[in-house]
Amino acid sequence: MGSDVSGIQCMAKEEDDFYVLNGTKYWVTNGGIADYMTIFATVDPEAKHNGICAFVVERNWEGVSSGKSIPKLGQRCSNTAALNFKNVKVPKENMLAPPGEGFVLAMRTFARTRPAIGAFAVGAARSAMEFAIDYAKRRRTFGTKISNFQAIQFKIAEMYQKVETARLLVWKAAWEADNGMDPTVSASISKFYATEAAQEVLSEALQIFAGYGYTKMFPIEKLLRDTRLFKIYEGTSEIQRLIVSGHALSTYQPAMPPLEDLPIQRTVNPEVMEGEAEKGKALWRCRMCGYVHYGKDAPEECPSCFFPKTAFKKVP
C-alpha cells in the first residue's frame, strides 16, 4: 500500500496452527533473491492498524513466488521485485507480531532503518562533493582554475555544510536508538534532511562538472540517479514531514509559555499610569493583542484591537 501502511490488503486468515496468506507486495528490495522475508498482512482490512500482523515467510514454501526484476532509474545493482502469496500456510510459530501489534512493529523498525537511508545519502553526497572539489582544482577557464571563482567556492561551502549537517542528524538518531530512546522523530528528520540535502549536493556537483557531469564518463550522473530513490523508499519525504509536524503539533513539549501567559513588562507599558499597578487593581491582558488593562473588571472592548471583553484574561 505504499505510504498508507494501515491500508494493507494482503490477507492473513487464521486456520488451526496456521495463518493462510493471500496477496501481493510490489516493490520489494531483494524480493527476487531473498530466502527469508518479513511479511506484514491483515486479518481484517476494515480494522486498519488494529488488524495488522507480521510473519517470517520462507521463499521455498508452496504458493510463494516473485515477479521479474523491475527496471529502475538508479540503484540498478539492487534487485527489486514483487512478491505473490497464494494460499501460503505460515505456521503460527513464525509470527513476529500478532494482529494489532504489526503496525507498531513496522513503525519501530522504520525508526531504526530510516537513519540508515540518511547515512546512504551522507555517503553519496560526500562522494559527489569530493569529486567536485577534485575537479574544481583541475579544470581551468579564463586562464585560472575554476576553484578560484567565488561562485564555485560558495557552492563547495554549501555542499560541505549540507554533508556535515546531514551526518550530525544521522548520528543523533543513531545515538538515540543506541541509548534506548525512541528515535522516531530524529529518524524522520535525519532521513528527509539528509536525502534532500544529497539531491542538492549532487545537483551542484553536476553543475561544477558541467557538461562532463552530464556524461557517463564521470560518476556524478550515477550518484544523482541512485540518490533520487532515497526520498521515496522507507517512507517518502512527504510522509516524514507528516510525522514531524504531527509530533510538533501534539506531543512536543514547548519550553516557552503560551502567548497569553507571557509576562508583562509593566513599567514600559505606556497605557499604564504610574502607580496603577501598586494600587491593588486587578490586571487584565487582551489575549488578541496583549493590551494591558488595570481595573476591577475587564473593559467592555479592547481599546487597542476592539475585540470584546471575552478576549481579556485576568493575570494572576
Binding residues for ligand FAD (CB under 6 A):
2-3, 27-29, 72, 80, 229, 232-233, 235-236, 238-239, 242
* Smallest separation (angstroms) from ligand FAD to the CB of 299: 45
| The one catalytic residue among 164, 234, 260, 278 | 234
Q: Which is nearer to ligand FAD, 58 or 271 (CB)?
A: 58
CB closer to ligand FAD out of 72 and 137: 72
238 is catalytic: no
Phi, psi for residue 12 in degrees, rounded to 5: -120, 115
DSSP 31: T
In the complex, least distance from residue 40 CB atom to ligand FAD, rounded to whole angstroms: 8
| Comparison of 11 and 133: residue with beta carbon closer to ligand FAD | 11
By the 10 Å C-beta count (0-12 exposed, 13-18 middle, 19+ buried), 183 is classed as: buried
CA 88, CA 66: separation in Å to the nearest integer? Answer: 13
DSSP-assigned letters across all residues of 276-295: TGGGT--EEEETTT--EEES
DSSP notation for 114-165? HHHHHHHHHHHHHHHHHHHHHHHHH-EETTEEGGGSHHHHHHHHHHHHHHHH
Q: Which is nearer to ligand FAD, 40 or 135 (CB)?
A: 40
CB of 113 to ligand FAD, least distance (A): 10
Residue whose CB is less far from ligand FAD, 12 or 28: 28
Determine the Cα–Cα distance for residues 192 and 234; give it in Å rounded to an integer: 10
The C-alpha cell that represents 1 in the structure block:
500500500
With CA atoms as reference, report the closest residue to 42 among 98, 83, 84, 92.
98
- The residue among 54 and 298 lying less far from ligand FAD, judged by its C-beta, is 54
Q: Min. distance of Cβ 116 from ligand FAD in angstroms?
A: 13
**Shortest CB 2 distance to ligand FAD, Å:** 2
3-state class (DSSP) for residue 4: coil
End-to-end CA distance of the chain, in Å? Answer: 53
Nearer to ligand FAD, 232 or 264 (CB): 232
Nearest approach, Cβ of residue 78 and ligand FAD (Å): 7
Asked if residue 55 lies in contact with residue 39, where contact means CB atoms within 8 angstroms, the answer is yes
Backbone phi, psi, residue 180, to 5°: 70, 15
Q: Crossing angle for the helix pair 184-209 and 220-228, nearest 10 degrees?
A: 150
CB of 3 to ligand FAD, least distance (A): 3
Task: Tell me how far the alpha carbon of residue 7 is from its chain's centroid.
Answer: 20
DSSP helix/strand/coil, 202 = helix
The type of residue at 270 is P
What are the catalytic residues?
234
